Amino acid sequence: MSPADIRRVGVVGGGRMGAGIAEVCARAELDTLLCEATRPAAAKARERIAVSLERAVQRGKLDRTSAEAALDRITVTADLADLADRQLVVEAVTEDPDAKTGVFAALDKIVDDPAAILATNTSSLPVMRLGMATGRADRVIGLHFFNPVPVLPLVEVVTTLHTSPEVTADVTDFATRTLGKTVIHSRDRAGFVVNALLVPYLLSAIRMTESGFATATDVDRGMELGCAHPMGPLKLADLIGLDTVASIAESLYDEFKEPLYAPPPVLLRMVEAGLLGRKTGRGFHTYRREERPGSSG
């Protein structure tokens, strides 16, 4: 299957990441089917995409005709079985091993075409584990986008010991030529490239605040104004989602057992309290409430 042959794409999970992936696929003129757990969640995902497209129009990044055409290419469903005819399915549900494994086991039975590619947007979990939940591990690959998906140009393509070279080449070409993204490659290790470098930095900022050494505002201001970072580490953690940061940290620590990867206690308490950052309105900073706790993506 060549990248040009991939015209029917499925996305499982309609949270911020899943909705963003569906949007970029639709903007690339692909027939896009987004699946959520319930019909209300599916409708909300489509609304999230409509808001994002309107924002792009208002910012002059997209004309209205193209935005309307992209939205028309997106169909939402609450039934995984509707993904049977997809040529590429990208899983983007919550960073929970059981949830992701369950999705892949189900997709293996549902997706008809043996040449179809099953991809995961996981930011931390072993892609191999997901592939082994299927009978087609050679067709399973990591396709890790970054938030916000319509804006950030990078995609990590992550290959396992089973992923076929053909699938790696096809997915790389699909991400670059069809979606217009820039690809970097990683082997299947916790954190891949970006998060293996980024998360210890975020955890260090969280520990500095937890210890009382500096406030969240001063930590962020220091890195923004002293190091020319566009966003401070605690604002970035809030944007990523503190639950996702904690999940990545736990995966890194489980694999490498190095103290710098261990999630700080305050991070775990905040996750338990549902203070997940931007998507819940409160993390290390306070925001306008955008989404309810527990939304996928």
Q: How confident is the model at residue 5 (pLDDT cuts 50, 70, 90)?
A: confident
Q: How far is CA 120 from CA 56, 145, 193, 256, in A?
A: 26, 10, 16, 22
Residue 295: pLDDT band by 50, 70, 90 thresholds? very low
What's the pLDDT tens digit per position in 134-148? 999 999 999 999 989
pLDDT at 288: 83
Architecture of domain 3-187: 3-Layer(aba) Sandwich (3.40)
Arithmetic mean of pLDDT, 259-287: 97
- Interval 173-183 mean pLDDT: 97
pLDDT at position 156, please?
A: 98
pTM for the full model?
A: 0.90
Residue 184 has pLDDT above 50, yes or no: yes
Q: Residue 50: which pLDDT band, with cuts at 50, 70 and 90?
A: very high
**Per-residue pLDDT at 289:** 65
Domain ranges of the chain: 3-187, 195-280
Catalytic residue positions? 123, 144, 156, 195
The residue-averaged pLDDT of 15-42 equals 97
Q: How many CA atoms lie within 13 A of 257 on its CB side?
A: 0
Q: Measured between alpha carbons, how far is 195 from 90 in angstroms, rounded to an integer?
A: 20
pLDDT at 294 over 60: no
211 or 5: whose pLDDT is higher? Answer: 211
pLDDT bracket for residue 124 (50, 70, 90): confident
Q: Is the pLDDT of residue 215 over 80?
A: yes
What is 195-280's CATH number?
1.10.1040.10
| Residue 274, pLDDT score | 97
pLDDT band at residue 293 using 50, 70 and 90 as cut-offs: very low
**pLDDT for the residue numbered 2:** 62
pLDDT per position as a tens digit, 70-115: 999 999 999 999 999 999 999 999 989 999 999 999 999 999 999 9
